[in-house]
Amino acid sequence: KAGVTQTPRYLIKTRGQQVTLSCSPISGHRSVSWYQQTPGQGLQFLFEYFSETQRNKGNFPGRFSGRQFSNSRSEMNVSTLELGDSALYLCASSLGEEQPQHFGDGTRLSIL
C-alpha cells in the first residue's frame, strides 16, 4: 500500500513569490492535515481537511491556505513568501477522528 506522497520534495523560492505544495494521501484516507516543521518552533499544525472541507486551522496567517479535492488529494498554498516560511512542510493522512496520522516525506521549502 502506497504511503503519503508529497511533491515536490525540494523547492527554492524568493521573497514575495507564492508556492503550491501537493499531497496525495494513503488510499482510503479522507483526512489530510498539514504541518510546518522548523528548528525553532518544532512541528506546528497548519490545517486539516476532510471531504473537501477545512475543519480546523492552526495559528498561521491568512497567507497560508489549502484545499482538498474530491479524490482526497490536497494542496497547500503560501502567498507572499517570507524568509521565515523556510521550513519542512509535512502532510499527514488518517482514516478519521482520533486515528493515527501517517506522514509523507515532506517538502523542504527554502526562501532566498
Partner 1 sequence: QKEVEQNSGPLSVPEGAIASLNCTYSDRGSQSFFWYRQYSGKSPELIMSIYSNGDKEDGRFTAQLNKASQYVSLLIRDSQPSDSATYLCAVDEGRRALTFGSGTRLQVQP
**For binding to partner 1 (CB under 8 A), which residues are involved?**
31, 33, 35, 42-45, 48, 50, 55-56, 58, 88, 90, 92, 94, 97-98, 100-106
CB of 52 to partner 1, least distance (A): 15
Q: Which is nearer to partner 1, 21 or 104 (CB)?
A: 104
Q: Which is nearer to partner 1, 21 or 106 (CB)?
A: 106
33 forms beta bridges with 48, 92
Q: Extract the C-alpha cell encoding 78.
A: 503560501
CB of 28 to partner 1, least distance (A): 16
- CB-based burial of residue 79 (10 Å sphere; 0-12 exposed, 13-18 middle, 19+ buried)? middle
Q: Which is nearer to partner 1, 19 or 47 (CB)?
A: 47
Which residue bears the cell 515536490?
A: 8
Which residue bears the cell 523556510?
A: 86
